Chain A
């Protein structure tokens, strides 16, 4: 990729980030630019001598995203299991230790909704609990390779999107989380029958370590795409990005950070988060 092209791509990406700023704080903006414009800011992270290789890998990764989108069958269900097959205890995984799990006050909590929706009403947990509830026993697969079978209960996400009058012809659903995690999915995945706004785990209220007050369970995606402690959802046509990721719902950052680079370490930790 030549420098001029590189600069134009970075400019376009930064413009997108600025457009998304809205009422975001500067800290949020920096985080978004780090994800969307990550390559431009990580020039100190020893990619210079391998930049052509990393570019090639990045291009192939984008191609793979297209292949995966083509492979995705919106009607194909993930395998379900019996109660006896549930992994107990279910593993905890985050980019921080269990004692740093965010604790959200149930009474004060409001799920914010924004973007291309007809109702921007903020939902309390009680309001969400009276919506139709379903349960699934499915396999959670981590990008690290391990997997665990769990039981998640909550509102079918497609049903929730209907209640908020979401524009289902929009491309993306973005999630903002209480632990500063940030991810997004494509609309096809959002509408998949097994995608769930999860409020309970293994028959109990979803505990903090597994994502209280709510997570979004998607058995058609790897664990890191299943956000925990969700506090805001928005529907958008502008690609929102995701922590530690470049384009595509399952694309991965192709940049290798050097050990001394704090941003790089952060990205590395993000990528290993489930």
Chain B
């Protein structure tokens, strides 16, 4: 085994054989870049999306203009249709590298309902350990997988809203144009809820912010 260039850390990767651990790296560079690009894209999509919603609200409320992006409907649409490329392309690259490198399985498997309940209860009692930042606990695994699925749903429902004539199968699967509007809205609500919880968690475990910036 070649040990001259690499130092294996003391911890062993649970997924097992064939993987290499560089000294103390929690999040590799590609992941960190992808994470922050995603954060930027999501902020633009939500801010401009709220302004678009305001043009024809689904419910009996509007988002305050101050927290929306774009200034007017046309401006908001321009931002929305620009950032969608960043969201989509960055998201695809994230998924591809995650799957092809095996990281997806290493980080998110095994996934057990019992472990989820245990960790969830421990979190509420303030006893969920973050000793090894390389490991996701079961609450994290579920939350991150759900938000990925939620973003996919946002993109698919967005495509139905944007081009309902040219994507007829997608439109059919999502219940048609008007239903897709509601799916798009509730998926956005889910995303916002995730972000709130995510930010609270980062505040409670500040080291996680450092690892997402520096890698370790």
Chain A residues near B (Cβ < 8 Å): 56-58, 60-61, 64, 68, 71-73, 76-79, 139, 141-147, 219-220, 244, 252-254, 256-257, 268, 271-272
Q: How far apart are the CA atoms of A64 and B162 in the complex, in Å? A: 11
Q: How far apart are the CA atoms of A16 and B74 in the complex, in Å? A: 25
Also in contact, A252 and B78, with CB within 8 A (given A76-B165, A76-B166): yes
Partner of A61, one of B72, B81, B171, B176: B81
Do most interface residues of chain A lie in helix, strand or loop, or is the interface mixed? Answer: loop
Q: How far apart are the CA atoms of A143 and B76 in the complex, in Å? A: 12
Also in contact, A146 and B56, with CB within 8 A (given A57-B78, A64-B81, A68-B163): yes
**Which residues of B sit under 8 angstroms from A64, Cβ to Cβ?**
81
Instruction: Show 23 A/B contacts (Cβ-Cβ < 8 Å), sorted by A.
Output: A56-B82, A57-B79, A60-B81, A60-B85, A61-B82, A64-B81, A68-B163, A72-B166, A76-B168, A79-B171, A143-B55, A143-B77, A144-B56, A145-B161, A147-B177, A220-B165, A244-B74, A252-B77, A252-B78, A254-B74, A254-B78, A271-B74, A272-B72
The smallest C-beta distance from B88 to any residue of chain A, in angstroms, reads 12
Contact A252 B52 (CB under 8 A): no
Nearest 8 interchain pairs by C-beta: A145-B56, A144-B55, A256-B71, A144-B56, A60-B82, A252-B74, A271-B74, A146-B56
Task: Report the interface size class on chain B.
Answer: 20 to 34
Name 7 extra pairs, CB < 8 A, besides A79-B165, A254-B75, A272-B73.
A56-B82, A72-B166, A73-B166, A141-B164, A252-B78, A256-B71, A271-B74
Also in contact, A271 and B181, with CB within 8 A (given A61-B82, A64-B81, A144-B56): no
Q: Is B53 an interface residue (CB 8 A)?
A: yes
Q: Is B178 an interface residue (CB 8 A)?
A: yes
**Which residues of B sit under 8 angstroms from A143, Cβ to Cβ?**
55, 73, 77
Number of A-B contacts (CB under 8 A): 71
Taken residue by residue from 100 to 131, chain B's Cβ proximity to chain A (1 for < 8 Å, 0 otherwise) reads as 00000000000000000000000000000000
**Which residues of B sit under 8 angstroms from A146, Cβ to Cβ?**
56
Q: How far apart are the CA atoms of A95 and B55 in the complex, in Å? A: 14
Contact A271 B73 (CB under 8 A): yes
The smallest C-beta distance from A98 to any residue of chain B, in angstroms, reads 18
**Which residues of A sit under 8 angstroms from B78, Cβ to Cβ?**
57-58, 60-61, 252, 254
Among residues of A, the one whose C-beta sits closest to the C-beta of B171 is A79
Among residues of A, the one whose C-beta sits closest to the C-beta of B55 is A144
Contact B56 A142 (CB under 8 A): yes
Q: How far apart are the CA atoms of A241 and B23 in the complex, in Å? A: 60
**Which residues of A sit under 8 angstroms from B181, Cβ to Cβ?**
145
The smallest C-beta distance from A90 to any residue of chain B, in angstroms, reads 15
The smallest C-beta distance from B89 to any residue of chain A, in angstroms, reads 13
Also in contact, A71 and B81, with CB within 8 A (given A145-B52, A252-B74): no
Contact B56 A71 (CB under 8 A): no
Q: How far apart are the CA atoms of A146 and B54 in the complex, in Å? A: 11
Contact A144 B178 (CB under 8 A): no
The smallest C-beta distance from A117 to any residue of chain B, in angstroms, reads 28
**Which residues of B sit under 8 angstroms from A142, Cβ to Cβ?**
56
**Which residues of B sit under 8 angstroms from A60, Cβ to Cβ?**
78, 81-82, 85
Q: How far apart are the CA atoms of A147 and B180 in the complex, in Å? A: 12
Contact A141 B177 (CB under 8 A): yes
Also in contact, A256 and B72, with CB within 8 A (given A60-B82, A147-B177): yes
**Which residues of A sit under 8 angstroms from B165, Cβ to Cβ?**
76-79, 219-220
Partner of B72, one of A78, A220, A268: A268
Q: Which of A76, A144, A253 has the most CB of B within 10 A?
A: A144
**Which residues of B sit under 8 angstroms from A58, Cβ to Cβ?**
78
The smallest C-beta distance from A228 to any residue of chain B, in angstroms, reads 19
Q: How far apart are the CA atoms of A139 and B177 in the complex, in Å? A: 9
**Which residues of A sit under 8 angstroms from B81, Cβ to Cβ?**
60-61, 64
Contact B82 A145 (CB under 8 A): no
Q: How far apart are the CA atoms of A42 and B56 in the complex, in Å? A: 27
Contact B85 A71 (CB under 8 A): no
